Amino acid sequence: MGRYKGYMTITAIILGLLLLSAGFFTFASKERSMAAKLAIEKITTDKARYYPGDNIKITLHIRNGNKKAVNNAVLKLKAYHLGEETGEVKKLTLSHLPPGEKTVNLEWQAPKKDYSGYLLKAALSGRLGGIKSTGTAGVDVSSTVLKFPRYGYLSDFSKEVDTQSMIRAMTEYHINTIEYYDWQYLHHQPLAEGITAKNPGVWKDWSGREIYGTVIADYIRYAHDANMINMAYNMIYAGTDTFFQEGKYSSQAEQWKLYFANSNDRGEGEFKFHMGTSPSGNSNLYFLNPLNPSWQKYIFVEENKIFGAFSFDGWHGDTVGDWGEMTTAGGKPLGRDEAGKPIYLVKDTYTQFLNAAKEALGGKYLSFNPVGAQGIENANKSKTDILYAEFWPWDKDREGNTYDTYYSLVKEVERSFEDSKALSFDGKGKSLAVKAYINYDKTVGNMNEPGVILAAASVYAAGGSRLEIGNGDHMLHKEYYPDDKLPMSDGLKKYMKGLSDFTVAYENILRDGQKSSENTVTVEGYPASREGKSDTVWTYTKSDGTYDILHLINLLGTDNQWRDERGKKKAPKEITNFKVRYYSEKALSNAWLASPDREGGVSTRLQLKKGKDDKGSFIEFTLPALTYWDMIYIRQ
């Protein structure tokens, strides 16, 4: 009897444990099911750039897709620098997550190393684990914008604009330098009469648009809060009709004009553009000799006036490209170069003009646009702080090749680094901001994703950046910025934000002194090319003192022309589970894959196989997929 009671007791205990276990399993299953409906929608930071040691405020936008609140969800935040975990891991228990959207704030202290990029990765799960939702964001820790400039633009200065929202939207793309396009009163008089810091006023530009000074002041204030710099756009050598018709400089200004040389078959007489109908009679833009000392003195004074009224950080100078040989009003050369030879091409005046402008601006920044990249080598060798160029597919580089392919943009970014080394603050050269209008003739629908993404990937892989996003989250497709009316789709906006995070996180292996290399690369089963040929996998190799870097840009099933006028470019054919051989005589042992196309840009370690064949020694690895752009970085 006693033994029977013992069996019954044990049986009861076992049944109780089983019931308890079943109950816990049901509870755990329910908890994990609810956790699976938690999602990190996006991660944003409060500034576009941070100083070493800064406190970074991070906002996580979370969605609870359940009909009930989720209790005690777990949020973890880690930071990575080139695949290596760094800094303190943050862990937060969210006691109550109601249904719908919610924001959660965290703080992370920036490392004290200057000019370095980081990737923040957040993971959200239920208290009992289950499927995790992850999100990432890039962080740039740099004491100035000079090493890693990321250009954006503003051209809406109307009374109704929400300046704070505009700047906040641009912060999500990590834009740290803003071009204020056509903010000015007139090209020869950027600051309208009577405008001061205390009286920012209202004026009309040449086209009759009303420009509100309070809007400009607010933009600048919010941009400074986000550690952005603000560049006041204006031509370096232009005046409109009234400059030559009234005022004390009208007669002198006539003598400052540029004239087509007799040998120039592109025009005759004075060099001018008709911009369009102007209610103030300023329809024409006349161009002046950049090397005329009186013009330089005049325009430098006018540019410096703006800094007394608005807290701009510098001057963004513009041009209209190369139009052949020019002379002064008296038929003489524009000036002379260092060797004493006469100058007849406007592009050959750039170095002297820009150096004089930089000196006249004092501590203000100077950026400059040699349109068509004509004379870019002269701008690159000047004291200009930030390099910038607007590309057109019919213009030619210094070797006579047209700027019509992705490869042509890449080569110019590389040359700009080399040209500018001597006058760069770290001796590594300056990173070029590339402006190229992708969907120029598209008038309906959205920007075409493949055209936008492939152009961006090419330029970023080379170490440059793109001027394309501004006015909040708009994208340029025309040279007249107020006409940025071709929107990005929600999908493209999300991709471009991820791409911005990626290029910030990996700035130290993208644009920090890397040089192109000649390593052979094969892609098993697919054609590859070193020059980015159409319908190939573009194998673009670079190196620095620590890493070998391999960029794979997917041009399979599409072409290599960056100009996608009507938005017809097809997305490249995605490939999966393919082998790559990278040839090198170095003892390479560690490799990582990172891509803006997957995993939020987080690096994953690759398994390497070493070998040797008739091409030499190689490492071989398998990549899971190539959509647009994969980056592999390798070290010993």
Q: Where are the domains of the chain?
A: 38-141, 151-234+293-324+350-510, 515-635
CA atoms within 13 A on the CB side of 98: 4
The answer to whether 110 touches 56, Cβ cutoff 8 Å, is yes
Question: Rounded to whole angstroms, how far apart are CA atoms 204 and 189?
Answer: 12
> CATH 1.25.60.10: does it fit domain 38-141?
no
Confidence of residue 35 (pLDDT cuts 50, 70, 90): confident
Question: Rounded to whole angstroms, how far apart are CA atoms 181 and 268?
Answer: 30
Give the pLDDT of residue 7. Answer: 65
Give the pLDDT of residue 3. Answer: 60
State percent of the chain over pLDDT 70: 94
φ/ψ (deg, to 5) at 223: -65, -40
Give the pLDDT of residue 24. Answer: 43
State percent of the chain over pLDDT 90: 89
Give the pLDDT of residue 89. Answer: 86
Is the pLDDT score of 23 beyond 60?
no
Mean pLDDT of 108-124: 96
Phi-psi region of 513 (alpha: psi -120 to 50; beta: other; left: phi over 0): left
Residue pointed to by tokens 């950046």: 465
Give the pLDDT of residue 344. Answer: 98
Residue pointed to by tokens 């044990």: 10
In this predicted model, which residue has the larger pLDDT, 18 or 577?
A: 577
Mind listing the pLDDT tens digit for each residue in 614-626?
999 999 999 999 9
Is the pLDDT score of 369 beyond 90?
yes
Range 474-513 burial, b when 16+ CB lie within 10 A, else e: bbbbeeebeebebebeeebbebbbbbbbbbbbbbbbbbbb
Question: Rounded to whole angstroms, how far apart are CA atoms 357 and 360?
Answer: 5
The answer to whether 433 touches 149, Cβ cutoff 8 Å, is yes
Give the pLDDT of residue 40. Answer: 93
Mean pLDDT of 520-540: 98
Give the pLDDT of residue 6. Answer: 62
For residue 4, give Cα distances in angstroms to 8, 11, 333: 6, 10, 118
For residue 507 the two structure tokens come to 């700035």
Question: In the sheet that 38-45 helps form, which strands lie side by side, from edge to edge?
Answer: 38-45, 55-64, 100-109
Mind listing the pLDDT tens digit for each residue in 55-105?
999 999 999 999 999 999 999 999 999 999 998 888 989 988 999 999 999
Pairing of β 386-390 and β 365-368: parallel
Question: Rounded to whole angstroms, how far apart are CA atoms 429 and 166?
Answer: 31
Residue 631 carries which side chain, given as an amino acid letter?
Answer: M
The answer to whether 78 touches 602, Cβ cutoff 8 Å, is no
Question: In the sheet that 73-81 helps form, which strands lie side by side, from edge to edge?
Answer: 84-94, 73-81, 116-126, 129-141
The answer to whether 164 touches 141, Cβ cutoff 8 Å, is no
DSSP one-letter code for 193: T
User: What class, spelled out in words, does domain 515-635 have in CATH?
Assistant: mainly beta
Residue pointed to by tokens 């003739």: 441
Question: Rounded to whole angstroms, how far apart are CA atoms 551 and 633?
Answer: 9
Is 515-635 in the same CATH topology as 38-141?
yes
Residue pointed to by tokens 């777990």: 74
Confidence of residue 36 (pLDDT cuts 50, 70, 90): confident
Helix (H) or strand (E) holding 583: strand 575-583
Confidence of residue 34 (pLDDT cuts 50, 70, 90): confident
Give the pLDDT of residue 29. Answer: 57
- Provide the mean pLDDT of the chain: 94
Give the pLDDT of residue 546. Answer: 96
Is the pLDDT score of 360 beyond 70?
yes
Give the pLDDT of residue 25. Answer: 45
Question: Rounded to whole angstroms, how far apart are CA atoms 78 and 121?
Answer: 5
For residue 239 the two structure tokens come to 């005046």
> CATH 3.20.20.80: does it fit domain 151-234+293-324+350-510?
yes
Confidence of residue 425 (pLDDT cuts 50, 70, 90): very high
Give the pLDDT of residue 519. Answer: 97
C-alpha torsion 253→254→255→257, nearest 10: 90
Mean pLDDT of 215-234: 98
Give the pLDDT of residue 27. Answer: 42
Give the pLDDT of residue 32. Answer: 65
For residue 366 the two structure tokens come to 């100077």
Task: Determine the distance from the C-alpha atom of residue 269 to the mean position of all C-alpha atoms in its chain, rounded to a whole number.
Answer: 40
Task: Determine the distance from the C-alpha atom of residue 338 to the mean position of all C-alpha atoms in its chain, rounded to a whole number.
Answer: 36
DSSP one-letter code for 189: B
Give the pLDDT of residue 599. Answer: 94
CA angle (314 as vertex; 418, 184 as ends), nearest 5: 125
pTM: 0.94
Confidence of residue 33 (pLDDT cuts 50, 70, 90): confident
Is the pLDDT score of 28 beyond 90?
no
The answer to whether 372 touches 395, Cβ cutoff 8 Å, is yes
Give the pLDDT of residue 129. Answer: 63
